[in-house]
Chains A and B, each alone.
Chain A
Amino acid sequence: MINNRVGTRLFLRTFFLQSLWNFERLQNIGFLYVLYPVFKKLYPDKEKRKEILLRHVGFFNTNPYMANIVFAMIINAEEEIAAGKSANTKKPEMLKSVMSGPIAAIGDSFFWGTWRPVTAFVAILLSILAINIFDADFLWVAPVAFIFLYNVVHILFRYWIFVISFRLNEQMIKLVAKFEITYIGDIVRIIGIAAVFTTLYFYFDLFGFAPAVNIYSMDCTIPEIGIYGVILLFSFVFGKIRPVIMFYCAILFSFVIGYLGL
């Protein structure tokens, strides 16, 4: 039933999952929008289709990158029901509620908690290197590297789980359970930590030890390496403070340092 053309169309529609995000049922309309072409094919009778659409208009929420697993499994379940191979009409609803939470936890922790910060930081490292070596001529490297690194993994992963979930169907649950996401996440985080320390070295080399090789060639005060150490330790230890408070504290700290003439 799902040929390449329909599959591609469905895949492109998945990017709209949160376009009508609302507080009451979160991604429910996005969910209907993605699956509508499938329902139209499976249930040509309008009255029957109405019943199916109303059945799927309820609450839906998961990580948008991982949602493709749920979509593929629900399409398989609906195909079985429409073909008369299964009479369990509650199965799609059950799949929605059972799968959404666990896969959301995996997606949130890996993509938003690990992959995004690490790729962003690798991009920052490349820029600091560019400033160090080429004197700010290659700053465009940071945004390009970030978008490229992040999306190569993100889009390929989204496509891969969409395709593989169709093939494996319920076996996908076993595959998800086997995902060594904590292990992969730890490796990526260690790369992130290495990137932070490398950036710190180059940053201090640029702006900390000697008259600054400034990002601008204009006069400025030269921060001391000791002050940097205090700031680094403070923000590392009190990292749970709300960022907005931390920001204004940093401004206040800079004011005090400037006022004292340090």
Chain B
Amino acid sequence: MDVVSTGIPGLDAMLGGGLVARRPYVVTGPPGSGKTILGMQFLMEGRRNGEDVFHITLDEPPNEIKENMSQFGWDIDDILILDATPDIRAHKKKNVIDVGTSLDVRAMGDVGDIRKSQQIRSLEVSIHSVQKMLKQAARDLQKTSGRNFTRVVLDSMTSLRLFTMGGEDIPILIESFLRFLAEQEVTALIISTPSSRNAIDTEFLVARGEIKLHKWIEANAVRRGISVERFRGAKFDEQIRPMAIGAGGLQVDPVSEVRLRGPMQLAIDQDYLEGRIIEEILLIIDQVLAQMEQADKMGVTTTETSVAITRSMFQFNRKRYSEAMRLALQAKALLEEKLAARWRAGP
């Protein structure tokens, strides 16, 4: 499978080389965790290879992105940007027009001050209009140079969903948009934050992988991390790795480990499953201990079992529940075999 570099060497290492080409991915994380920078770095990498790239912004006006990125010394002037930040809503009973082609695609280099809302009519952004604009831009590119876009960033789906769409068809519209990106054969990053813990948002369902940025406070300092949560069709580094925002953008250390203690443990938000597994491990350990007592009375040696169960408790203490459970089950099976053999031998 073709592999596409993200522009961040450490992240490429975690992905076993890079993203699988021509598929859409989700980038998620709390505010200020570096999602926009990651997106920009991904596009910059494309530019460096002479690719045609496309940025769709809904969160930040292009002039601000340009300013923010200049701190990294990046020249992003060649990146095509679609300014889909919504206009000030005209709170009159005037017709709000659906953008169509009056939205604005331009090279980053041509971005000046913030675009002023029109006095008469304000533009409404919809997923449909964004798709139409991208399609138009792709056609133009094809016509003028015979080339195709290879990388697209949408920043962010959260805004597109919150501000610009109404009605029950949202999942269908988003699925269709991602299908459109896949058929354009671009590698796409969709920046998004889950809207609920209870159900899965469409882009998370349809995307072929998920990159998650983490941010937490430890010893009065902001810490950052990055993880690949899933990645279809390829092996990946399953650990959370430390990350920093430095002079060159995001820097990922693909070797060091992030300690899942205290604040980090809370930040990754997985208490629900833990509780259940903890209960079950404790139950098995309890059973095994009771059976060991019985075995002792019967003169059955339990050395192996007690080694396994002690190891299990040790892993349990370190919150490595998978290992703890595996060892507890092993102890249980070992002891049951011994006891069964004892029974077969008779009194």
Instruction: Please determine whether chains A and B interact with each other in the same assembly.
Output: no
A interface list, Cβ under 8 A from B: none
